[in-house]
Amino acid sequence: MALLDSKVTTRNGVVEGARGKRLRRGTISWRGIPFAAPPVAHRRFRAPEPAHDWPGVRDCTKIGKAAIQEKRFTAIAPGKFAPMAEDCLTLNVFSPDSSSSKPRPVMVFIHGGAFILGTAATPLYDGAFLARAQDVVVVTVQYRFGPFGFLDLSEFATDDRPFDTNVGLRDQIAALQWVQDNIEAFGGDAGNVTVFGESAGGTSVLSLLSAPSTTGLFHRVIAQSPAPELIVEQDAATVYADEFVRLLRDPQRRSNSFERHEPPVDTAEAQRLLTAPNPALLLAAGNKLMRFATKTAGGSIPFAPIVDGDLLPRSPLAAAAGGLTQPVPLVIGSNRDEANLFAKLWNVLPDAERTLMRVEDDEVRKEIASHYEDGDRDRIRLAGDSIFWAPMTAFADGHSGVAPTYVYRYDYQTKILEATGFGATHATELFSVFGAYRAPMGAGLAVADWPGSGRVTQNVQGRWGAFARTGDPGLGWPAFTTGERKVLVLDDPDHVEADPDTLRRQAWYRVHSPA
């Protein structure tokens, strides 16, 4: 079988990739391909513009720079960190290294990180193993987040210095448009694109599914552990933007009120602060805004897709409830022990008491609490259910009315994950999806479960690949309906359950059901 050429001509110029060696033998990758112009200077806080053309052959053998964030979040190996820059809008393409008689399905991955961190350089997101195992083309995307990607600064805009909303989502859309324009040159099928993402990436996927302007950019969707309520409504977005500018003006500012009683910030001054050359100043103000939101908005994260009335006319949950999501097949699910990761490593989820206080109806609050009375383990699960499982299920309810929907719960845990108390926690399904149990970063987790981790990886990749090819994950996975509520439990082996955790689901339904 003929090998693919490592040199590929895109609409902006020629890129040269690298053939995989050792564990990645049989694959080829192109890394750090610009899909938009650098979002710097006058392009900061603006929708992405088309990438610039380049002369000659562009070396695409290294991952591009990560988006601006705290350095510790860019670790790619012990003591090694990915470089960062505002000029971060690149993507990576992974493919089997042999040519195919017909175009391959395309799977575009959007990474997670609570909309404040992450990079496609993370070794876990290496698309080579998935591409080889399922004979697909995998694309991984870098996008803006934090204050650079998810602030609504329109109140400070003028005709000569406009600002756009949801530029992080617009980056993802620009990457999907790049796929439409270029992926056939890499052997991919632009008419068969699956967009998939995890955590904040899963929430992004649901937002794209709820945005009317994305019609035709993808044909199937996979949302892994999305947080469908991690959305900023317009009134909160206005407060966050105002507070952000005030923090730029006065880094020592300490505000404990979500209410706005101060005179408005002068537009010219705001523009001067927002266009400061040093992006570190904006990152520092963004970190302070996170603390402000924690104190004043019940632990909310201020950076997330914004219901702006433009790109995102309504929240994903509202779109699903109204039957207004894009009518494309969906795989969606969560992990059995979502919150354990946060309880042990990164305390960003609200505790059980704060979670319950968000439920306004006293009767509903008491009913939910009655299903989580078994000590610390249940209190941790309550936080995870409130952020991930319960709203995810509500989204599935709505979308299942407009397109085939398949719901899973990921239960698989290796002996090491079980012994350390992590269990089937947040993000562990990524090791199966990307085949990382057979890569250096994941092999240690699978050392006592080599055959089992191999079976689960083969099963999950096979289902994801079948879905990308046909829209049906097959192998006995029934479509979800609100009548039968059948869920595939991914484990070793997997099995189907009807309406697992019925009583908890019914209690949460009183929070998430349409008014």
pLDDT given for residue 295 in this prediction: 86
In a domain, 361, yes or no: no
Average pLDDT, the chain: 94
Q: Is the pLDDT of residue 299 over 90?
A: no
**77 and 46 both lie in a single domain:** yes
Domain count, the chain: 3
Assess contact for 44 and 66: CB atoms under 8 A: no
Whether 219 is catalytic: no
Q: Residue 311, class by beta-carbon neighbours within 10 Å (0-12 exposed, 13-18 middle, 19+ buried)?
A: buried
Assess contact for 404 and 471: CB atoms under 8 A: yes
**319 and 305 both lie in a single domain:** yes
Q: Is the pLDDT of residue 345 over 90?
A: no
- How distant, in Å, are the alpha carbons of 48, 150, 168 from that of 159? 18, 21, 22
Best CA proximity match to 274, nearest among 109, 355, 153: 153
pLDDT given for residue 348 in this prediction: 59
3-state helix/strand/coil string of 384-409: HHHHHHHHHHHHHHHHCCCCCEEEEE
pLDDT in tens, 112-151: 999 999 999 999 999 999 999 999 999 999 999 999 999 9
In a domain, 495, yes or no: yes
**286 and 313 both lie in a single domain:** no
pLDDT in tens, 138-191: 999 999 999 999 999 999 999 999 999 999 999 999 999 999 999 999 999 999
Model confidence at 357, pLDDT cuts 50, 70, 90, reads low
pLDDT in tens, 11-65: 999 999 999 999 999 999 999 999 999 999 999 999 999 999 999 999 999 999 9
* Average pLDDT value for residue range 181-210: 98
The Cα–Cα gap between 177 and 51 comes to 12
**433 and 493 both lie in a single domain:** yes
In a domain, 371, yes or no: no
* Average pLDDT value for residue range 404-414: 98
pLDDT in tens, 443-501: 999 999 999 999 999 999 999 999 999 999 988 999 999 999 999 999 999 999 999 99
**92 and 185 both lie in a single domain:** yes
The Cα–Cα gap between 296 and 255 comes to 9
Model confidence at 289, pLDDT cuts 50, 70, 90, reads very high
Q: Which one of 243, 338, 367, 429 is the catalytic residue?
A: 338
The Cα–Cα gap between 353 and 135 comes to 47
Q: Which domain holds residue 268?
A: 234-296
Provide the residue type at 184 as one letter.
E
* Average pLDDT value for residue range 333-349: 84
Q: Which one of 199, 315, 400, 432 is the catalytic residue?
A: 199
In a domain, 348, yes or no: no
The Cα–Cα gap between 366 and 380 comes to 17
Q: What are phi and psi of 139, to 5 degrees?
A: -120, 130
HSE-CB at 259 with a 13 A cutoff on CA atoms is: 1
In a domain, 83, yes or no: yes
The Cα–Cα gap between 150 and 91 comes to 20
pLDDT given for residue 313 in this prediction: 96
In a domain, 498, yes or no: yes
**191 and 289 both lie in a single domain:** no
| Tokens of residue 163, six digits | 């600002």
**336 and 451 both lie in a single domain:** yes
pLDDT in tens, 83-104: 999 999 999 999 999 999 999 9
In a domain, 374, yes or no: no
Identify the CATH number of the domain in which residue 16 sits.
3.40.50.1820
* Average pLDDT value for residue range 413-430: 96
* Average pLDDT value for residue range 265-285: 95
DSSP string, 203-240: HHHHHHHH-GGGTTS-SEEEEES--TT--B-HHHHHHH
pLDDT given for residue 365 in this prediction: 83
User: Radius of gyration of the chain from Cα atoms?
Assistant: 22
pLDDT given for residue 358 in this prediction: 67
**269 and 318 both lie in a single domain:** no
Q: Is the pLDDT of residue 515 over 80?
A: no
The Cα–Cα gap between 293 and 270 comes to 20
**302 and 206 both lie in a single domain:** yes
Give the end-to-end CA distance of the chain in Å, rounded to a whole number: 58
In a domain, 36, yes or no: yes
**212 and 289 both lie in a single domain:** no
* Average pLDDT value for residue range 255-277: 92
Model confidence at 351, pLDDT cuts 50, 70, 90, reads low
**89 and 176 both lie in a single domain:** yes
Whether 261 is catalytic: no
**144 and 273 both lie in a single domain:** no
Whether 386 is catalytic: no
Q: Which one of 111, 219, 371, 426 is the catalytic residue?
A: 426
